A and B are shown apart, each in its own frame.
Chain A
């Protein structure tokens, strides 16, 4: 037992933390505060007292350096070991890597974007506590971008589709889905940004994005990625806590904030959910060894956990996000509809697709008893037969895109899975198309902003993407034609993988 210290009036840890951090800020007098912090008022969020901010984690910089350095030491040791021991051969099957390709081209650039977005919030929110939390997250996000790039660099040496991820992220059609999502957040004010990313994305939906990729890695022998995932876990839980704090803080500061926050929760729930539809296809189709189905994940992580969360927020006057009932209706269809799109356009993608095997169809049928055999199995059977005749179906028509989520318009009506949903709005004499009421609402709420979207198909037609033929466009994307794209079956990657693992199969 430690003896009581004799020093009088020692500070409590909480007070000490407050002295070391909160005490740092001051009201500027040589320049007006509104000029020093020009961006934290225009969104309409009213903050009466920044001291009401509860620091979600009382982390001083010395502790941050120490913990993070220790984590990096371990992570890089694993990366070195994977590189030294041909760790890429430990994965279940080369098809697994298509999930990794989607992650590196679609998610890793967002981590860097998050670094910038939190730098913006970390500079421009006027409360010291909120600013420090955002700054640490800015650094964490940089960590995630850089460690992902380092982890996956090894795979890039042996496999296709990973070689030019940043260039592709700015250009390739399906990557405008994650890019526009994050661009939307970055171009919002600092409060909306933190609500979008820290709360809606990290707090509400992270178990449906980050976790499925990392669990997929664990299930499929990807030591490198899963080590990264575990290493990032403590960062993520800090970020989630920040997300909840920022929302509660706004709601507690002023009743006028409630409708604004509600509107953001509605918007970012739907935007996040549409982004996750890519993950749903990854979970149900890309993983050779599956973790759980999209529908199961949605039930567990949104319907149950999210339900409890929104019940908790009810006392602030917050209701569950608009259209969550539609997401529920779609959960047995989402991944199949998205995989269909991807299968249609694999010739223009930096990853491979395939028709699920009989075993896989069995699994899909057991996970989706109401929909799979009735709606999707016949389609796959047709495509498989066509491919066997040498007539593998590729869709050479460019699809119409939803103006908001930017996914090809192939989602179906909430109450009719056989009918494609079309919505539209007219704004300043122009017609804009949407895949859903959720996306239409987002547009109608901010038409000036949402009408600026860089829609890949429109851009191709306008001649801004390298030329008029698919090949021209693929070259603009920096796709290695015939290697990065097309079916897995017959790809150079498959051939190499089979050669590298030939021993393994004969041993069995």
Chain B
């Protein structure tokens, strides 16, 4: 049976905005396309920034990467504000349930106490790492060129803050007084096995090129640190009854591939645009991946002991595979 509701129809005079139509033709556009394409101002700026008088407000010269069209950096997830929040609210609902469940059933009691102590030392200080990653994401939202990159970067900044807060909540689950978080911060600031990571992260804060900061953070540091914590350490926890920790960090394991889809698309598109871009991005990926892998080694040794070398080799191999998949060069051109 077909229902036939009668409505009056009026022919639209145009299907989308002209700037979208110039790119895609005058046909109905997706909400992502309308929300993002050419929204940023590009011409006739009035004043130069007091904080950077040799640059325009939005300026392609804030990175050495050169693109003719900055809207090739589309987000394959097609996130605009509405879909972003709907997606994250849904993901977070799982975490919220998991945390409540863990607390109600006292599931942390099933985790070997020695492993719980290890969790407190490797997982909780990571919230500061995420806060640092938030800074780098804001750098991209601030200095990036074009709405495609700045909007997705702003979303990822809030993702990072959200994950930092989730880690804080896990800390409060381990210790409702919150003292454990103070100890985790002290460890982040002083424990020798955290220092190379913190050092690398602080060095990314002062990079002048936002695209380099993007690669250093999202490809190199995340590749090593997240790869170890949420894959290698999580697997090791299984032997210590740490299923509750896997549940509590479900957001992060769901987030990682989602985030990587975007990061990979950005790097791949920028690298494909010119040999110069490719060389630049390859150099950054090599430099920062090498540093990130070595920086994460003491953390891996602390948590995995004798199994650390294999785990570190694995994240290094993953970084190399990823670089190849994205069309980056393994070695500097001679």
Residues of chain A having any CB pair with chain B under 8 Å = 7-11, 15-16, 19-21, 23-26, 28-31, 35-36, 38-39, 42, 60-62, 64-66, 68-70, 72-73, 75-76, 85-86, 89, 109, 112-113, 115-116, 119-120, 122-124, 128, 132, 135-136, 138-139, 142-143, 145-147, 149-150, 153, 156-159, 162-167, 169-171, 176, 179-180, 183-184, 186-190, 449-450, 452-454, 459, 478, 496, 500
The answer to whether A36 and B18 have CB atoms under 8 Å apart is no
Chain B neighbourhood of A16, CB < 8 A? 172, 178
The answer to whether A146 and B165 have CB atoms under 8 Å apart is no
The answer to whether A180 and B169 have CB atoms under 8 Å apart is no
The answer to whether B51 and A42 have CB atoms under 8 Å apart is yes
Chain B neighbourhood of A169, CB < 8 A? 41
Which of B15, B36, B89 counts the most chain A CB atoms within 10 A? B89
Q: Pull 10 A–B residue pairs with CB atoms less than 8 Å apart, ordered by A.
A: A11-B172, A23-B168, A42-B50, A42-B51, A69-B89, A109-B41, A149-B39, A188-B50, A452-B46, A454-B44
The answer to whether A112 and B40 have CB atoms under 8 Å apart is yes
Q: Once the chains are docked, how many angstroms separate the CA of A187 from the CA of B41?
A: 14
A-binding segment of B69-77, B138-146, B224-232, B314-322: B138-146
Q: Once the chains are docked, how many angstroms separate the CA of A115 from the CA of B158?
A: 13
Kindly identify which residue among A20, A145, A170 contacts B168, using a CB–CB cutoff of 8 Å. A20
Kindly identify, within residues 190 to 231 of chain B, every residue whose CB is under 8 Å from any CB belonging to chain A: 198-199, 202-203, 205-206
Task: Tell me how many residue pairs across A and B have CB atoms closer than 8 Å.
Answer: 251
Q: How far is the CB of B125 from chain A (nearest CB, A)?
A: 10
The answer to whether B161 and A132 have CB atoms under 8 Å apart is yes
A86 to B, closest residue via Cβ = B10
Query: Is B248 among interface residues, defined by CB-CB distance under 8 A?
Result: no
The answer to whether B150 and A35 have CB atoms under 8 Å apart is no
The answer to whether A139 and B154 have CB atoms under 8 Å apart is yes
Interface string of B1-37 (1 = CB under 8 A from A): 0000001101011111111000000000001001110
Q: How far is the CB of A170 from chain B (nearest CB, A)?
A: 4
Q: Once the chains are docked, how many angstroms separate the CA of A449 from the CA of B52?
A: 12
Chain B neighbourhood of A139, CB < 8 A? 81, 154-155, 158
The answer to whether B150 and A453 have CB atoms under 8 Å apart is no
Chain B neighbourhood of A156, CB < 8 A? 14, 16-17
Chain A neighbourhood of B176, CB < 8 A? 7-11
The answer to whether A170 and B161 have CB atoms under 8 Å apart is no
Q: Once the chains are docked, how many angstroms separate the CA of A156 from the CA of B29?
A: 13
A-binding segment of B181-189, B254-262, B265-273, B326-334: B181-189
Kindly identify, within residues 129 to 179 of chain B, every residue whose CB is under 8 Å from any CB belonging to chain A: 131, 134-135, 138-139, 141-142, 147, 150-151, 154-155, 157-158, 161-162, 164-166, 168-169, 172, 176-178
Query: Is B96 among interface residues, defined by CB-CB distance under 8 A?
Result: yes
Q: Once the chains are docked, how many angstroms separate the CA of A373 from the CA of B89?
A: 57
Q: How far is the CB of A150 from chain B (nearest CB, A)?
A: 6
Q: How far is the CB of B12 from chain A (nearest CB, A)?
A: 4
A192 to B, closest residue via Cβ = B50
Q: Once the chains are docked, how many angstroms separate the CA of A270 from the CA of B191?
A: 53
Kindly identify, within residues 27 to 68 of chain B, every residue whose CB is under 8 Å from any CB belonging to chain A: 31, 34-36, 38-51, 57-58
The answer to whether A186 and B57 have CB atoms under 8 Å apart is yes
Knowing A11-B176, A139-B81, the reply to whether A116 touches B142 (Cβ < 8 A) is yes
Chain B neighbourhood of A10, CB < 8 A? 176
Chain B neighbourhood of A119, CB < 8 A? 138, 141-142, 150, 154
Kindly identify which residue among B92, B138, B169, B178 contacts A66, using a CB–CB cutoff of 8 Å. B92
Knowing A19-B168, A42-B51, A116-B58, the reply to whether A143 touches B81 (Cβ < 8 A) is yes
Chain A neighbourhood of B198, CB < 8 A? 30
The answer to whether B45 and A35 have CB atoms under 8 Å apart is no
The answer to whether A146 and B35 have CB atoms under 8 Å apart is yes
The answer to whether B51 and A39 have CB atoms under 8 Å apart is yes
The answer to whether A62 and B92 have CB atoms under 8 Å apart is yes
Kindly identify which residue among B35, B58, B86, B185 contacts A149, using a CB–CB cutoff of 8 Å. B35
Q: Once the chains are docked, how many angstroms separate the CA of A2 from the CA of B70?
A: 56
Knowing A135-B161, A149-B35, A179-B41, the reply to whether A157 touches B14 (Cβ < 8 A) is yes
B147 to A, closest residue via Cβ = A112
The answer to whether B165 and A72 have CB atoms under 8 Å apart is no
Kindly identify which residue among A65, A153, A452 contacts B92, using a CB–CB cutoff of 8 Å. A65
The answer to whether A31 and B128 have CB atoms under 8 Å apart is no
Query: Is B286 among interface residues, defined by CB-CB distance under 8 A?
Result: no
Consensus secondary structure, chain B interface? helix
The answer to whether B202 and A187 have CB atoms under 8 Å apart is no
Query: Is B88 among interface residues, defined by CB-CB distance under 8 A?
Result: yes
Kindly identify which residue among A21, A38, A70, A145 contacts B165, using a CB–CB cutoff of 8 Å. A21
Chain A neighbourhood of B147, CB < 8 A? 112
The answer to whether B165 and A62 have CB atoms under 8 Å apart is yes
Which 6 pairs show the lowest CB-CB distances between chains A and B? Answer: A61-B162, A69-B89, A157-B12, A123-B138, A119-B141, A72-B82
A-B contact sample (17 more), CB < 8 A, given A164-B18, A179-B44: A30-B198, A31-B205, A36-B202, A42-B51, A72-B85, A116-B141, A116-B150, A128-B131, A135-B154, A135-B157, A143-B81, A147-B82, A157-B12, A170-B42, A180-B47, A187-B48, A188-B50
Knowing A20-B168, A23-B168, A189-B50, the reply to whether A157 touches B15 (Cβ < 8 A) is yes
Knowing A31-B205, A452-B48, the reply to whether A163 touches B157 (Cβ < 8 A) is no
Q: How far is the CB of B185 from chain A (nearest CB, A)?
A: 6
The answer to whether B46 and A72 have CB atoms under 8 Å apart is no
Knowing A66-B92, A139-B154, A164-B18, the reply to whether A453 touches B47 (Cβ < 8 A) is yes
Q: How far is the CB of A83 from chain B (nearest CB, A)?
A: 10
Kindly identify which residue among B19, B46, B49, B199 contacts A167, using a CB–CB cutoff of 8 Å. B19
The answer to whether B18 and A452 have CB atoms under 8 Å apart is no
The answer to whether A61 and B44 have CB atoms under 8 Å apart is no
Kindly identify which residue among B38, B86, B161, B177 contacts A72, using a CB–CB cutoff of 8 Å. B86
Query: Is B127 among interface residues, defined by CB-CB distance under 8 A?
Result: yes
The answer to whether A68 and B85 have CB atoms under 8 Å apart is yes
Q: Once the chains are docked, how many angstroms separate the CA of A433 from the CA of B205?
A: 43
Which of B50, B51, B58, B205 counts the most chain A CB atoms within 10 A? B51
Q: Once the chains are docked, how many angstroms separate the CA of A54 from the CA of B242?
A: 38
Q: Once the chains are docked, how many angstroms separate the CA of A61 from the CA of B96?
A: 12
The answer to whether A60 and B45 have CB atoms under 8 Å apart is no
Kindly identify which residue among A30, A138, A147 contacts B141, using a CB–CB cutoff of 8 Å. A138
The answer to whether A163 and B17 have CB atoms under 8 Å apart is yes
Q: Once the chains are docked, how many angstroms separate the CA of A42 from the CA of B317?
A: 45
Chain B neighbourhood of A496, CB < 8 A? 13
Q: Once the chains are docked, how many angstroms separate the CA of A119 from the CA of B151?
A: 10
Kindly identify which residue among A61, A70, A158 contacts B161, using a CB–CB cutoff of 8 Å. A61
Kindly identify which residue among A21, A26, A158, A183 contacts B45, using a CB–CB cutoff of 8 Å. A183
A27 to B, closest residue via Cβ = B189
Q: How far is the CB of B249 from chain A (nearest CB, A)?
A: 14
Q: How far is the CB of B57 from chain A (nearest CB, A)?
A: 5
Q: Once the chains are docked, how many angstroms separate the CA of A186 from the CA of B44?
A: 14
Query: Is B115 among interface residues, defined by CB-CB distance under 8 A?
Result: no
Kindly identify which residue among B14, B43, B86 contacts A163, using a CB–CB cutoff of 8 Å. B14
The answer to whether A187 and B12 have CB atoms under 8 Å apart is no
Q: Once the chains are docked, how many angstroms separate the CA of A454 from the CA of B57?
A: 13
Which of B17, B36, B128, B155 counts the most chain A CB atoms within 10 A? B17
Chain A neighbourhood of B7, CB < 8 A? 85-86
